[in-house]
Amino acid sequence: MIREAYFILSNYIWQIVDGIVIVAIFPLLAGYVVLLERKVMADMQARLGPMRVGPHGLLQPLADAVKLMIKEDIIPESADRAIFWLAPILSVFAGMLSFAAIPVGPGFLIADMNIGLLFIFAVSSMGIFGIVLGGWASNSHYSLMGALRSSAQLVSYEVAVGMAMVSGLLLAGSLSMKEIVEYQAHSGFWLIFVAPVGFVIYLIGSVAETNRAPFDLPEAESELVAGYMTEYSGFRWALYFLAEYSNMVVVGSVATTLFLGGWLRPFAGTHGWVDFLDFLPPLIMLGVTGYCVYRIPKQTGWDQKFIMAIFAGICFAITVPLAAVLAPALANSSWKLGVHGAFWFIAKVMAYVYVFLWVRFTFPRYRFDQLMQLGWHYLIPLSIVNVMGVATAIVLHREAGWNPVVSIGVTLVATLLAALWLVRAGERREQAAARSVA
Amino acid sequence: MDEPQKTAEVLPVEMPIPGADEIVLNMGPQHPSTHGVLRVKLKLDGERIEGSECIIGYLHRGVEKIAEHRSYQQFAPYVDRMDYVAAVSNGLGYCEAVEKLLGAEAPARAKVVRTILTELQRIASHLLWLGTHALDIGALTPVFYCLREREEILKIFEKYCGARLTTHAFRIGGLQYETYDGFEHDVKRFCDDFETKVAEYEQLLTGNRIWVGRTKGIGILTGEQAIALGVTGPPLRASGVKWDIRKAMPYAAYDQYQFEIPTGQNGDTYDRYLVRMEEMRQSRRICLQAIENIPTGPIMAKVGKVLKPPPGEVYHSIEAPKGEIGYYVVSDGTVQPYRVRVRPPSFINLQAFDTMVRGHLVADVVAIIGTLDIVLGEVDR
């Protein structure tokens, strides 16, 4: 027994540490994504956003978490208590489990499964059970409608997203997240440049899958109050919230791995003067540190100054390892790849999440039938055409020996023509529908 | 139609006991997008609406009854509290109605200042409508831009009369206050900035595929239907009926200014949106013309301290931001009105709700409530 425990510990110690780090840090990170969202929203809407709790609202996530945890826990009288209790946990569980297969850096990976992508795809889809069960158990019309919308939406967009993933898979030839990134390092091209249509479909589909605006119908606040979350409050509500933001980070991570080169730095394959990009991570963090220090005297009160100094210290603490691995002694070690890889990976995920936020504050919301139409009439056909296009490009390159750029270019043009035809056909259909109504 | 309290029964909707395949969904009175306390009962087949019933009266304060116990001047502040986002327009209607009853007329200067303030109020009201309408349809950002511009207008009101929302800006017979120094400058600066701001909103929404998809063909109201239902204001004009009281029966100083009446063709939510956007531009145009040449002279007609209109009755209506607001005032020769009946545009436009909403989806309900631009304070009074 003890020997087995020792065996597990000695062999899987890094996986266990990684797992604990993710479970411990993740809720905090999700909280800061919420703060980021509020700050970005405020910036786009000509306001300041959270400013009171800590300097520039930096402690707002902690305050929110404490508030939600000490709130009264209300379960509606007519709710199905067991399922009502289970549903949010299921949602969070699915979101966090997906992290097991996400390679943050070459070494920072809990499980390098050979079916990693499939695993994430399967597990993150399980989150919908949490939503459907929660909506059902609440015993409220709004909740039920939100849950039904949610499941229909996920089923519809799962197909398009899956097809977009396939276009990346065909090129990388592996389902292992690590090998997909290694393929991109080896070939010298991020897959977004090889399968741009696939990336766009994945982007749209992932917004829909995470129930974010403009596809946030399950929780459309002006129509269904809060959708499936209507009857939830306090910590259970926070769990749903956490699940939503963890899903955002998961789809961002998958997109980063599959299309944006994972932990690779831009121009990872070429060397020479572009190596100055290696200096970018420590310089960016140093800049952030400098800005924090610059803001310290402008804070009111010693406590705010102190907190600002702590944040400056954290930023500096991140700067040090980023700079240290650039030392000549470590120049070609795996340490540099690991530490900088994590930086680039997180930066790419955050850029992807930023697009989510940007879209949310710019666009009105789709109506449910329009959402379904977009999924079934446009994205799914286009994703199938895209898979065929990518497959053709691979055959032209590998079998017929065409130049890779030419083979990709030809199939890309064909795919875009198909997209144009789809849009035209959709417009004709809409016009015909309008005529039949009139 | 005399008794507003009974309107819930006047609008009959067949509401059978819900069977297995239809749901009766209750929206409101605490629903976030009913703009106040409107309760809507929807009979649904899946998500498609088969019938609806508006239940009103949650904000009933008996404003019309209060009028019978107040002097003419005392009642004036109450009308501001009906449509509290367009208080200046309400006040103008009431003051002009009583002036008509008295046989008095406001001096030229007062008329021009009234026109400017009323047009600013129209812009402010439409801005609030645009922001909340866009918010209902899911665009989170325009509301902040709209409130930012509305703030400038409210600042002008505050500088002029000390109040921002329930202004009580006008008095029977003219104006209480002379305009402040720099009034023209403030209005001109607002108008100059405003042109680009409207273009900004249009850039966010007008050509946006999602916005067009959500509003085109939604809540169609034909011209005949609109007239039959008594709909006025932008919803009527969007249905292609060129009817604007400012042109048809000019009041205040509107006959002196050039402006267009925008109309739509399809009578759908998108057309109502375009009509209101154009109306804001036209209001700006009127303001710019008016501040060029504000006549000098007195601001108050000689109406006396105690108003005792001769016995009789009068109906006077003006084009408020939401439609025709009319005041039917009956005098029995005493200092208090015998009866004041208000024709509130929100209340009468709300009648069209059921016609517009049938056959649409739940998501369209909020778009249609938004496009009607109702204020519950005015619906219930």
Residue B137: give its domain's CATH number: 1.10.645.10
Assess whether A240 and A215 both reside in one domain: yes
B49 with B100, same domain: the answer is no
Closest chain A C-alpha to B210 CA, distance in angstroms: 6
Looking at chain B, the whole-number percentage of residues with pLDDT higher than 90 is 3
Domain identity same for A306 and A363:
no
Domain identity same for A88 and A176 = yes
Whether residues B25 and B105 share a domain: the answer is no
Would you say residue A218 has pLDDT above 70? no
Whether residues A411 and A318 share a domain: the answer is: no
How many beta-carbon pairs below 8 A join chains A and B? 82
Q: If you average pLDDT over residues A25-47, what whole number do you get?
A: 83
**B200-226: pLDDT as tens digits:** 888 888 888 888 888 888 888 888 888
How many domains would you assign to chain B? 2
Q: Does A214 sit behind a cis peptide bond, omega within 30 degrees of 0 on the bond before it?
A: yes
Contacts of A207 in chain B (CB under 8 A): none
Closest CA of chain A from B195, distance in Å: 19
Residues in chain B: 381
Name which of A41, A225, A367 is nearest B363 (Cβ-Cβ): A367
Tell me: do B209 and B230 sit in the same domain: yes
If asked whether residues A318 and A173 sit together in one domain, one would say no
Same domain (yes/no): A54, A98: no
Q: Which of A368, A434, A437 sits opposite B47 (nearest CB)?
A: A368
What element of type H or E holds B55?
A: strand B48-55
Shared domain for A306 and A376, answered yes or no, is no
Of A72, A53, A74, A127, nearest to A96 by C-alpha is A127
CA angle A273–A279–A284, rounded 5-degree value:
135
Q: Is the pLDDT of residue A430 over 80?
A: no
Residues of B within 8 A of A223 (CB-CB) are 33, 362-363, 365-366
**What does pLDDT average to over chain B?**
84
Q: Do residue B39 and residue B80 come from a single domain?
A: no
Q: Cβ separation of A217 and B363 shorter than 8 Å? A: yes
pLDDT computed for residue B6 by the predictor: 43
Using a CB–CB cutoff of 8 Å, tell me whether A219 touches chain B: no
Output B12 or B88, whichever has higher pLDDT.
B88
Band of the pLDDT at A236, cuts 50, 70, 90? confident
> Is A374 in the B-facing interface, judged by CB distances under 8 Å?
no
* pLDDT of residue A169 exceeding 80: yes
Angle of CA points A22, A28, A31, to nearest 5°:
130
Where residue B10 falls among pLDDT bands split at 50, 70, 90?
A: very low
Do residues A153 and A229 share a domain?
A: yes
* A97-147: pLDDT as tens digits: 888 788 877 766 777 778 888 888 888 888 888 888 888 888 777 788 778
Final residue in a domain of this structure, among A70, A95, A119: A70
CB contact under 8 A, B47 and A370: no
**Model confidence over B85-119: pLDDT tens digits?**
888 888 898 988 988 888 888 888 888 888 999 99
- Say if residue B24 is in the same domain as residue B164: no
Q: Are residues B29 and B143 in the same domain?
A: no
Peptide bond into B29 cis (omega under 30): yes
CB within 8 Å: A223 and B366: yes
User: What value does the mean pLDDT of chain A take?
Assistant: 81
Q: What is the per-residue burial (b if ≥16 Cβ within 10 Å, else e) of A229-262?
A: bbbbbeebbbbbbbbbbbbbbbbbbbbbbbbbbb
Q: What is residue B203's predicted lDDT score, i.e. its pLDDT?
A: 83
If one compares A78 and B225, the residue with the highest pLDDT of the two is B225
Beta-carbon separation of A222 and B141 below 8 A: no
Residue of B nearest to A142 (CA): B25
**pLDDT tens per residue across span B134-180:** 888 888 888 888 888 899 899 998 888 888 888 888 888 888 888 88
Q: What is the pLDDT of residue B20?
A: 52
In one letter, which amino acid is B132?
T
pLDDT in tens, B37-61: 788 888 877 777 888 888 888 888 8
Q: Do A363 and B208 touch (CB under 8 A)?
A: yes
Domain that holds residue B73: 63-380
Q: Same domain for A237 and A350? A: no
Is there a single domain that holds both residue B241 and residue B285? yes
Q: Which of B210, B215, B218, B368 to mutate to test the interface with A (most CBs of A within 10 A)?
A: B210
> Are both A249 and A192 inside the same structural domain?
yes
- Span B323-339, average pLDDT: 88
Please check whether residues B238 and B296 belong to one and the same domain.
Answer: yes
Co-location of B255 and B272 in the same domain: yes
Shared domain check, B155 and B197 = yes
Task: Please report the pLDDT score of residue B34 as a whole number.
Answer: 64
Per CB-CB distance under 8 Å, the chain A contacts of B139 are 362-365
Nearest CA in chain B to A44: B141
Reply yes or no on whether the pLDDT at A378 is more than 80. Answer: yes
pLDDT for position B9: 46
Question: Are B138 and A213 an interchain contact pair (Cβ–Cβ within 8 Å)?
Answer: yes
pLDDT of residue B11: 44
- Sign of the Cα torsion A255, A257, A263, A267 reads negative
Closest partner residue to A365 (CB to CB) among B138, B148, B361 is B138
pLDDT top residue among B176 and A10: B176
Between residues A228 and B281, which one has the greater pLDDT?
B281
Residue A155 reports pLDDT greater than 50: yes
Cβ–Cβ of B145/A45 closer than 8 Å?
Answer: yes
Residues 34-63 of A with CB under 8 A from B: 41, 44-47
Please answer whether residues A186 and A171 qualify as being in contact, where contact means their C-beta atoms are separated by less than 8 angstroms.
Answer: no
- For the residues A303-331, what does the mean pLDDT come to? 81
Range of the domain at A379: 71-264+359-437
Least confident piece of the model among A258-267, A383-392, B20-29, B288-297: B20-29
Residues B163 and B304 in one domain: yes
- CA separation for the pair B165, B154 (Å, rounded): 7
Res. A303 pLDDT band, cuts 50 70 90: confident
C-beta atoms of B32 and A221 within 8 A: yes
Sort out which chain A residues have CB atoms less than 8 A from B363's CB and list them: 217, 220, 223, 365, 367-368
Domain boundary among A297, A323, A358: A358
Structure tokens at A308: 């600002």
Q: What pLDDT is attached to residue B293? A: 84
Does B254 lie in the same domain as B340? yes
For residues A175 and A95, state if they share a domain.
Answer: yes
Mutate to test the interface with A, among B45, B137, B150, B369 (most CBs of A within 10 A): B137
Q: What is the DSSP annotation of B115-144?
A: HHHHHHHHHHHHHHHHHHHHHHHT--SHHH
Q: What is the pLDDT of residue B8?
A: 44
pLDDT band at residue B12 under the 50/70/90 scheme? very low
Mean pLDDT value of segment B258-276: 88
Query: pLDDT grade, residue B5 (50/70/90)?
Result: very low
Confidence of residue A225 (pLDDT cuts 50, 70, 90): low
Same domain flag for A97 and A196: yes
**Are A222 and B140 inside 8 Å of each other by CB?**
no
Confidence of residue B21 (pLDDT cuts 50, 70, 90): low
| 8 A C-beta contact, residue A379 and residue A157 | yes
Number of domains into which chain A is organized: 3
* pLDDT at A48 > cutoff 50: yes
A360 and B136: CB-CB below 8 Å?
no
Residue A391 parent element (H or E): helix A380-398
Q: Which residues of A touch B40 (CB under 8 A)?
A: none
Closest CA to A146 of B25, B358, B369, B140: B25
Per DSSP, B39 falls in state E
Closest-CA residue of B relative to A369 is B361
ipTM of this complex > 0.95? no
A378 has a chain B CB within 8 A of its CB: no
Interface test with A, best of B26, B132, B133, B140 (most A CBs within 10 A): B140
B108 to chain A nearest CA, in Å? 40
* CA gap B90, B87 in Å, rounded: 5
- Residue B74's pLDDT band (boundaries 50, 70, 90)? confident
Measured distance CA(B341)–CA(A329) in Å, rounded: 89
Q: Which residues pair with B341 in a beta bridge?
A: B328
Q: What is the share, in percent, of chain A residues with pLDDT greater than 90?
A: 0
